[in-house]
A and B are shown apart, each in its own frame.
Chain A
Amino acid sequence: MINSPFVRKAASVQSVMLQVLLALVPGIAAYVWFFGAGILVQIAIASAAALAGEAAMLAIRGKPKAIFLTDLSAVVTAWLIALTFPPIAPWWLTVTGTLLAVVVVKQLYGGLGQNPFNPAMAAFCLMIVAYPALMSQWPAAGQLDFKTQLDLIFGGLRQVDAITGATPLDALRTALRAAANPDSQVHGLRAAQLMDGPAFGFLGGKGSEWIALGYLVGGLWLIQRKIITWHIPFAFCAALLVTAGLLWGVRPDAFASPVFHLASGGAMLGAFFILTDPVSGATTPRGKLLFAAGAAILTYVIRTFGAYPDGIAFATLLMNILVPIIDMKTQAPVFGHKKD
C-alpha cells in the first residue's frame, strides 16, 4: 500500500451481510413458531442453490470464488427468497427462483454491486408470473405439521387446494370485493367484520403479524447498528399509512385499515430488508425518502386494485428502475454550497 489512508476501520461486505442475516433471525423465529420448521428447509434449499449458482457463475466469469462466496450476499438473497415464497412451495420452485436471482439478475449483470434490480424481488416476480397458482398457496398458522410440509416441499403430488388458502391480504381483498357485490352472501359486511375470520389476528394475518413484528425488531436493530438508515423504513411505513389511511378514512367499509396494511404481507420485510438493499436502491437521503414512498404507494395500489397477493415485489422493481434518476436529481448540496 503506497497511499494514505494507512489505517482502516474494521468493516467488510461480509460483516454487513452477516448482520443483515442476524437481523432476519427474530422474524424467522416467529415464522417457525407459528408456521412450523418447513421454512428452515426452504431457507436451506435456497441458500444451497444460491451458493451453487454463484460458484458456477464465478467460475465461468473467472472471478475469485473464495472471496465472493464468503461475502454472504448470495445468502441474503436466498433467505429473502425463502421468506417471500410460500413456505410449502415445491423445492424446484425455490431452486429455480433462487438461480434466476443469483445467475441472471445478479451475476449476468456483473455480480456483487452491479445489479440494477433487487435479485430476490425479481425472482419473486418472475415466479409469480410463471407459476401463479403455486406462488399463491399459503397455509394458515399451525395448519400443517412438519411432515406434511416436507411432503409438500419434496413430494410430487400437490393436493393442497383444500388445505391452503390465500394470504390474509388476498383473502381480505377478495372478501371486500365480494362484500361490494349485492348478490354476495357477505354483502354489506365491513372490513372489520370480515377480519373476524380464523385467518386474521389482532392486526394482520394470524401468526404472520408476529413475523412482521420480528422483522420490525431486526430492522430497528439494523438501524441502531448503522447498517441501514432510517429513511427508507420510515418513508415506506409513513407513505403506506397515509395512502391506506386516506382511502380507509373515506370508506372504512371498503378498504383495509392502514395498520392492517403495515402488519400484513411483506410490508415490514420490504421496509427494512428489501427496499434497503443498497445496490438496487436509492442512495441519497432525499432519494431514499422518495424511493420508499413511491414503493409504498405502488404496493398499496397493487395490493388493493391489482390481482397479485402482495405488491412489494413489483413495487420494488418499478422503483429500482427509477433509482438512477432519483439519485441524480436528489444530490445534496456539498460543503460551502448550502443555502442555510
Chain B
Amino acid sequence: MLRKLFKFHGGVKPQTNKERSTTAPIAAVPLPDRLVIPLHQAVGGHPRPLVQPGDRVFKGQRIGGADGNLSSAVHASTSGLVRDVAPAVMPHTSGLTTLSVIIEPDGEDRWGELDKVNYRSTPPDELRDFLRDAGVVGLGGAVFPSYLKLKPGKEGKLKTLVINGAECEPFITCDDMLMRERAGDMLKGILAMRHMLQAEEVLIGIEDNKPQAVAAVQAAIAASGQSGIEAVAIPTRYPAGGAKQLIRVLTGIEVPHGRRSTDFGVQCFNVGTAFSIYEALELGRPLISRLVTVAGNVDAPRNYDVLIGTPMDHLVRLAGPRADTDRYIMGGPMMGVRLPAFDVPVVKATNCILVGSEAMFPAPAPEMPCIRCGECAKACPADLAPFELYWFSRSKNFGKAQEYHLFDCIECGCCSFVCPSHIPLVDYYRFSKSEIWAREREKEAADAARDRFEFKNHRQEREKLEKAEKLAAKAAATREKVAADGATAPAAGSDAAPAAKPAPDAAKRALIEAAMEKARQQKAQAAPRNTEQLSPDVQAEIADIEARREIVAKPAASPLPPQDA
C-alpha cells in the first residue's frame, strides 16, 4: 500500500556524500586515556555533579543528577577513577568551558548494577523518571530530554508517533547504519514509546536514498508481527529530517512555531533515541554511548559506537584524517558547528564529526548585495521571506523582523545555500535572534529593577505611616494626660489661678508639638494623606482621638483671652 505523502515548501538538494561511510559496518573504539564528560549535555537545567575527584566509578554510574523539571542525568561511560570535576572546553563554536567530569578509565569497563524496568507494568510517571535518570535525550541533534516528550497530549493518547530516520544532512549516516544493523532493538524502543504515548499508529520516515535501511526496518517490523507500524520512504530533500518537515511530509500537519506537536496528535523522535530507550528500559543501560559518523576529509569514513566523553581526535584518528585537515565540524555541513579544538569530547549531541579542510569547504565568494531574486524564499522550508528578514536584520529593525516571523526560522541553512550573492543569511538571523533575546533579558531586568524600586518606595511609605501613627498616639496620650491634669487642677483648690498655670502651658506645648508633627508629615508626603486608606479600626481610633481633642481643647482654651470676633 502506498501512503499519501505531503510536501513541504522549499528545501534544497545538496550533494549527499553518504556512500563512503556506509561501506563498512559500525566499529568499536578503543578506550581512550581519559574521558571528559560535560555535565550539561542536554537542553534544560545544569545537572549537579554527584562525584568528587578521587572517586571510583562504575560504567553507567550516575555522575550528574538531573536538576529541576527540565534536565537529564549524565553517567560515567566506563569504569575508572574520577580525576577531576572541572570546567573543560565544550564542543561548541564559542570555545566556552563547562563543568565536566574527567575520568581515567581503569580498562576493565565494568558495569555497575543495572536496573531494568518492565514498561508495560510500570506507571508512566515512574517510567519517565527512570528515563530522566537514564539520561535519555533526543539524539537527532536537539538533545531535548526525552522523558518530557513521552507524555501524550491532553486527550491522553496520540494519533501518530513519528520516528525520524530521514537523516537529511549530507555526510551523516549514523541513523542509516543504526537502522541497517540494529533495527530490531530500535523497534523495541519504538514499541515502548508507543505504549507510553498510547499512539494509534507509528510512522518511521526514512529518506529514499537509504533503501537498505528501509528494507531492514520493514523486515524488523514484519518479524515482530506488530501492526500499525510502517516504515515510509520519503523523497530525499533537505531538510526533510527537520521534525516539523517530517511531520508535515508524513501526516500533512504543520505544527506552528511555539506550539506542541502533541496538541496536534503527533510526537516525533529520532531513531537513535528509540534505540537508547530500548537500552535503558530493557537492558538497564543509561545513555553512555552513541553512534557517530566520522566523514569528510578522512581516508576511511565510517560509523563508530562511541563512549560519551571520548576526545574527538582520538576517534578521528581511526578514520585516517588527511594531512590538510584544519577543522572539525560537529554535525553536517548544513547546520553543523565548527569546533574550537580537536580534543573536545563527543557528547550526546554529536551525530557526526565532519573533518574538514580549506579545500573541502572553501570560504564562499565575497558577499554581494541582495538582488531580491527570491531564491531564498523558494528554498525556505518555513515559507519565510528570507531576503526581507535579511533587510530587517541588517537595519536592526527587529520589530519588523519578528513581524515577518523571524522566530519561525529553523536555521536550516537552505537560504544561505542557494543565495547567488553569497550572503550568510542565517548568520544575520542568528544575530537578530540573539539581539532580541538580549533586549528581552534587559527588559526583564529593568522590569525587575522597577518592581524592586516600587516595592522599596511602598515599604518606606508604610514605615512612615506607622511612625506617624505611633507619634499621633503618643501625642494623644500626652493630651489626655494634660486634659486629666487640667480637669483635676481647678477642683484641687480655690487658689486655682497659680496652680492652673502650668497646665495650659503643657497643653499648649502638646498642641504645638502635634501641629508641628502634622506639618512635618504633610511636608514629607504630599499625597496620599496619612489618614486615607486606613483600616476601620484605625479610623475609629482617630475619630476617638478627635473627640477627645474636642474635650481637651475646651478647658485648655478657656483660660486664654477670648478671640475678637
Assess the B244–A336 pair: CB atoms within 8 A.
Answer: yes
Asked if B333 CB lies within 8 Å of chain A CBs, one says yes
Assess the B420–A13 pair: CB atoms within 8 A.
Answer: yes
**Residue in A13, A110, A334 whose beta carbon sits within 8 Å of that of B371 in the complex:** A13
Known: A3-B424, A6-B329. A331 touches B338 (CB 8 A): no
Complex Cα distance A306/B57, Å? 90
Asked if B437 CB lies within 8 Å of chain A CBs, one says no
Known: A4-B335, A6-B329. A11 touches B420 (CB 8 A): yes
Asked if A214 CB lies within 8 Å of chain B CBs, one says no
Q: Mark B414-425 against chain A: 1 for CB-CB distance below 8 A, else 0.
A: 001111111010
Residue among A8, A114, A279 having the largest count of chain B Cβ atoms under 10 Å: A8
Complex Cα distance A278/B420, Å? 13
Assess the B384–A334 pair: CB atoms within 8 A.
Answer: yes
State which residues 347-384 of B face A: CB under 8 Å.
354, 356, 361, 363-366, 368-375, 377, 381-384
Q: Mark A265-295 against chain B: 1 for CB-CB distance below 8 A, else 0.
A: 0000000000000110101100000000000
Assess the A9–B418 pair: CB atoms within 8 A.
Answer: yes
Interface of chain B: mostly helix, strand, loop or mixed? loop
Asked if A2 CB lies within 8 Å of chain B CBs, one says yes
State which residues 141-180 of B face A: CB under 8 Å.
170
**Residue in A6, A12, A331, A335 whose beta carbon sits within 8 Å of that of B382 in the complex:** A335
Which residues of the partner chain A approach B333 to less than 8 Å between Cβ atoms?
Answer: 4-7
Known: A12-B422, A13-B368, A331-B404. A336 touches B12 (CB 8 A): no
**Residue in B338, B368, B388 whose beta carbon sits within 8 Å of that of A3 in the complex:** B338
Complex Cα distance A71/B367, Å? 12
Q: How many A-B residue pairs have CB under 8 A?
A: 140
Asked if B500 CB lies within 8 Å of chain A CBs, one says no
**B296: nearest chain-A partner, CB-CB:** A6
Which residues of the partner chain B approach A7 to less than 8 Å between Cβ atoms?
Answer: 14-15, 170, 333-334, 361, 417
Assess the A111–B369 pair: CB atoms within 8 A.
Answer: yes
Which residues of the partner chain B approach A283 to less than 8 Å between Cβ atoms?
Answer: 372, 374, 377, 385, 387
Interface size class of B (residues with CB under 8 A): 35 or more
Interface stretch of the complex, out of B63-71, B255-263, B555-563: B255-263
Complex Cα distance A8/B377, Å? 16
State which residues 1-60 of A face B: CB under 8 Å.
1-9, 11-13, 15-16
Which residues of the partner chain B approach A6 to less than 8 Å between Cβ atoms?
Answer: 329, 333-334, 336, 338, 354, 356, 361
Which residues of the partner chain A approach B421 to less than 8 Å between Cβ atoms?
Answer: 12-13, 113
**Residue in B374, B383, B384, B422 whose beta carbon sits within 8 Å of that of A8 in the complex:** B422
Which residues of the partner chain A approach B452 to less than 8 Å between Cβ atoms?
Answer: none
Assess the B375–A11 pair: CB atoms within 8 A.
Answer: yes
Known: A3-B427, A15-B420, A67-B366. A112 touches B371 (CB 8 A): yes
Q: Mark B1-20 against chain A: 1 for CB-CB distance below 8 A, else 0.
A: 00000001100101100000
Complex Cα distance A218/B365, Å? 29
**B166 → chain A closest CB, angstroms:** 17
Complex Cα distance A5/B385, Å? 18
Asked if A182 CB lies within 8 Å of chain B CBs, one says no
Assess the A334–B382 pair: CB atoms within 8 A.
Answer: yes
Complex Cα distance A113/B377, Å? 16
State which residues 246-278 of A face B: CB under 8 Å.
278
Complex Cα distance A111/B421, Å? 14
**B308 → chain A closest CB, angstroms:** 23
Asked if B241 CB lies within 8 Å of chain A CBs, one says no
Complex Cα distance A67/B329, Å? 30
Apart from A334-B382, A338-B383: 14 A-B pairs, beta carbons within 8 A: A1-B361, A4-B334, A7-B170, A8-B417, A16-B371, A113-B368, A113-B369, A279-B371, A279-B372, A333-B383, A335-B9, A335-B244, A335-B257, A336-B255
Binding site for A on B (CB under 8 A): 8-9, 12, 14-15, 93, 170, 244, 248, 254-257, 259, 329, 331, 333-338, 354, 356, 361, 363-366, 368-375, 377, 381-385, 387-388, 404-405, 408, 413, 416-422, 424, 426-427, 430
29 pairs, A vs B, C-beta closer than 8 Å: A1-B364, A1-B424, A3-B338, A4-B331, A5-B333, A6-B334, A6-B336, A6-B338, A7-B14, A7-B15, A7-B333, A7-B417, A8-B419, A13-B421, A15-B420, A67-B366, A113-B368, A113-B372, A278-B371, A278-B373, A332-B385, A334-B405, A335-B9, A335-B248, A335-B254, A335-B383, A336-B255, A336-B257, A337-B254
